[in-house]
Every structure is written in C-alpha cells, then in structure tokens.
C-alpha cells in the first residue's frame, strides 16, 4: 500500500478540548464543517462528543450524515440554501442560522419546535447577517415562531489579531443591538476564545483550536501529522534537470528522493523550493509539485534511505508557521487534503 498518511492524535484532540474548557465557562460548539477540518468527522465526534454542547456544519448533507452519530444539537452555519431545506431541518431536528430575508419566507409553515434558530447579525464583517436597522422586525418575527430556542449570533472578522480595532467595535455593536434581550448569545470563534474573553457570551464556536491548527501558545497541541515514505532515490549530475519542463537544474552533483504525494493529495501547487523534514533534518523540494509525487534534494546526505518518512507537518509543528512556507494558512492545508490520503488514528 502507498505509505502516505495523515496521523491523527486523539489524545491531543482531547487535550485541546480541556484547554478550551479551561479558558471559558460558556458552552462549546464544536465546528466540524469540512469533515472536521480534514481530520474525519466520525472519529472526531466520537472523541469529543461528551465535551461539547453542540456541533456545527455548513451543508445539509454534512448535517444529515452527522445526525447518525450524535443526538446533540447540530447547527447549519449558513442556514438553508433553499426553502425546501426546511423539510430536512424538521426531519433531522437540526438547528439553523437565519442571516438574510429570503430565508424567512414561509418559515411559519414549518414545524420548528425541535430546532433552535440562530439569528445572525452583521456587526461589521459585512459578510452574512442582518444589519442593525432590521433587528427589531426580524427579531419579532423569529420570536413568534414556535422554535425550541432563539439564539442571537454574529461573527468576528479579525479575532486572531488582538490589536485590530474591528474586534472591540464589533463586540460593542453586538452588545448594543442585543441589549435588553434575554436570549442566549454567541460571538466567539477560536481566536476570540483566547483573545477576547468579553466576547464569549453563552456559546463559543470553536473550529481550528480544537484541531490544534492555530493558537498553540495557549497549550493547544497539533492534532495531525502528514507524512509520506520515500519510494526512490536518484543520483543526478551537475547540469541535469529534474521533472516537468526541466524546471530545476542541479548546480552540483546531488541525490534526489521522491515521495508519493502530490497536488492530488491536497498539497498546494508550488513551483519553487519548499522546506521539508526527513529524519529531523530540513531539505528543499526541487521542481514543480506533481499530481502524485514530490522531489526533494538530499544534496550529498547519504543517511537518507528509501523507506524513510518525508514529514510535512507533525505533532511538534506549528501548522500556522509551516503554512507560510506554502503561501497559505493552516485552515487550507488541513481542509485541502483529499480522500486519497489515508487517515490513521492514534489513541
Ligand atoms: C468556521 C466558523 C467558525 C469556526 O472558526 P474557527 O476560526 O475555526 O474557530 C465559527 N463560526 C462560524 C460562523 C464559522 O463559519
């Protein structure tokens, strides 16, 4: 079998839940959209279910599959994408966001007594959500539905940047708009759990922190490790070129190794050198990433053998720092991994 795998540490996943719990007394909603940020939602849910109040996903298909694995509340973070989706919300007892007017059409015709409605406000991100001027009307309309509960939410645009003035402006506006309401409230994503305790309110919505993809300075641990076993080593002479389009030319004699992983596995496309670890030593890729292979320059290091692991990121690495090497962010590296990469879970 091809030895290209994502290892997932359930122990580190549990650790991260404990860290998050230690930072807040609010309920925790685990955001497990995009297959739990690429780590496999079934195993993640089984591991953390007892530590969280609810789960959140984006698509109805995600929610329906997830319903087989948990009885806890499941929130559709973008709400319905067409009105007929409310039939499935009824059938599967889902919670849902309403962020725009058309989602209210015919809402009173559905039986929502098993659903919590998440009323989403725009407080400055200007992405999804009702503006302040619409709050009163929409609030009255939503209250009149016989839903199980009505939660008021918004989303912070810059919670990973403690100095960014947008944060306090959004928190202030959220407080202003919701003043006098007795409803549960939710504003914080992972960044705000650590950077803005005054934004925790009743339910915090955590994604990347659970998976150890960011904010490691708070005691979170990386949950995943991506590695691929070397299948070939070739000696190359000075002046010879490597790979597609002859894009890289050896400036001295060297050894080039190949690992069976490429952009079809979710490695972001690159055509210049990227840093990669083998046996704890750092090397550089050469040439362009291929669909199924990556070439790495071992220079004159004779210690690396076929069968050694090329490590992209590991349990000791800060994925946020690593991602800069690939001109991307940890979120993308994790969620980009394709189904072809085998996932193996460690206790
Ligand atoms: C994805 C998402 C989150 C989780 O964000 P993290 O930065 O991964 O914690 C929270 N709330 C909403 C509305 C989201 O879409």
Going by alpha carbons, the residue nearest to atom 14 of ligand 1 is 77
- Residue with token string 């992972």: 190
* pLDDT attached to residue 282: 97
Asked if 192 and 199 touch (Cβ cutoff 8 Å), the reply is yes
Q: Return the ligand 1 atom nearest residue 29 CA.
A: 10
User: Is 211 one of the annotated active-site residues of the chain?
Assistant: no
The pTM (predicted TM-score) of the whole model is: 0.96
Q: Kindly state the average pLDDT of the residues 308-313.
A: 97
Q: Which is the catalytic residue, given 33, 185, 225, 288?
A: 33
User: Tokens in use for 124?
Assistant: 């400055």
130-156 pLDDT, tens digit each: 999 999 999 999 999 989 999 999 999
- CA 207 to ligand 1 centroid distance, Å: 6
Q: Band of the pLDDT at 2, cuts 50, 70, 90? A: very high
- CA 226 to ligand 1 centroid distance, Å: 23
- CA 228 to ligand 1 centroid distance, Å: 30
User: Is 86 one of the annotated active-site residues of the chain?
Assistant: no
* pLDDT attached to residue 191: 98
- CA 78 to ligand 1 centroid distance, Å: 11
How far apart, in whole angstroms, are the C-alpha atoms of residue 105 and residue 84? 11
255-282 pLDDT, tens digit each: 999 999 999 999 999 999 999 999 999 9
Label residue 239 left, alpha or beta by phi (over 0 means left) and psi (-120 to 50 means alpha).
left
Q: What is the total residue count of the chain? A: 347
Going by C-beta distance under 8 Å and a sequence separation of 6 or more, which residues neighbour residue 6? 38, 39, 224, 225, 226, 337, 341, 342, 343, 344
- CA 205 to ligand 1 centroid distance, Å: 6
The closest alpha carbon to 77, from 106, 46, 120, 36, belongs to: 120
Q: Kindly state the average pLDDT of the residues 163-171.
A: 98
Q: Which is the catalytic residue, given 11, 146, 244, 269?
A: 244
26-49 pLDDT, tens digit each: 999 999 999 999 999 999 999 999
% of the chain residues with pLDDT over 90: 99
| CB-based burial, 74-106: b 16+ in 10 Å, e otherwise | bbbbbbbeeeebbebbeebbbbbbbbbeebbee
Q: Return the ligand 1 atom nearest residue 208 CA.
A: 8
Pocket of ligand 1 (CB under 6 A): 31, 33, 77, 155, 189-191, 205-209
């Amino acid at each position: 079998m091809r030895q290209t795998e994502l290892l997932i540490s359930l122990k580190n996943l549990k650790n991260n839940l404990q860290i998050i719990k230690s930072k807040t007394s609010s309920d925790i909603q685990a955001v497990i959209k995009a297959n739990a940020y690429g780590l496999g939602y079934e195993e993640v849910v089984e591991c953390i279910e007892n530590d969280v109040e609810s789960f959140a996903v984006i698509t109805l298909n995600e929610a329906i599959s997830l319903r087989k694995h948990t009885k806890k509340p499941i929130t559709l973070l973008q709400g319905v994408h067409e009105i007929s989706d409310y039939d499935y919300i009824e059938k599967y007892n889902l919670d849902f966001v309403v962020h725009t007017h058309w989602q209210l059409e015919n809402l009173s015709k559905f039986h929502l007594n098993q659903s919590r409605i998440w009323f989403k406000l725009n407080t400055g991100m200007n992405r999804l959500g009702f503006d302040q001027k619409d709050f009163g009307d929409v609030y009255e309309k939503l209250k009149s539905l016989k839903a199980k509960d009505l939660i008021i939410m918004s989303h912070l645009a810059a919670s990973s940047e403690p100095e960014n003035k947008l944060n306090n402006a959004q928190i202030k506006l959220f407080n202003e708009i919701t003043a006098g309401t007795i409803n549960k409230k939710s504003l914080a994503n992972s960044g705000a759990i650590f950077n803005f305790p005054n934004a925790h309110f009743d339910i915090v919505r955590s994604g990347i922190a659970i998976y150890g993809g960011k904010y490691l300075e708070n005691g979170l641990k990386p949950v995943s490790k991506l590695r691929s076993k070397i299948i070939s080593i070739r000696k190359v002479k000075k002046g010879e070129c490597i790979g597609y389009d002859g894009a890289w030319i050896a400036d001295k004699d060297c050894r080039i190794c190949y690992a069976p992983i490429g952009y079809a596995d979710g490695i972001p496309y690159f055509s210049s050198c990227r840093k990669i670890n083998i046996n704890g030593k750092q090397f550089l890729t050469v040439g362009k990433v291929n669909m199924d292979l990556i070439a790495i320059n071992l220079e004159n290091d004779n210690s690396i053998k076929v069968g050694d692991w090329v490590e992209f990121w590991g349990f000791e690495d800060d994925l946020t720092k690593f991602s800069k090497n690939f001109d991307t962010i940890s979120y993308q590296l994790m969620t980009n991994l394709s189904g072809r990469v085998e996932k193996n879970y460690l206790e």
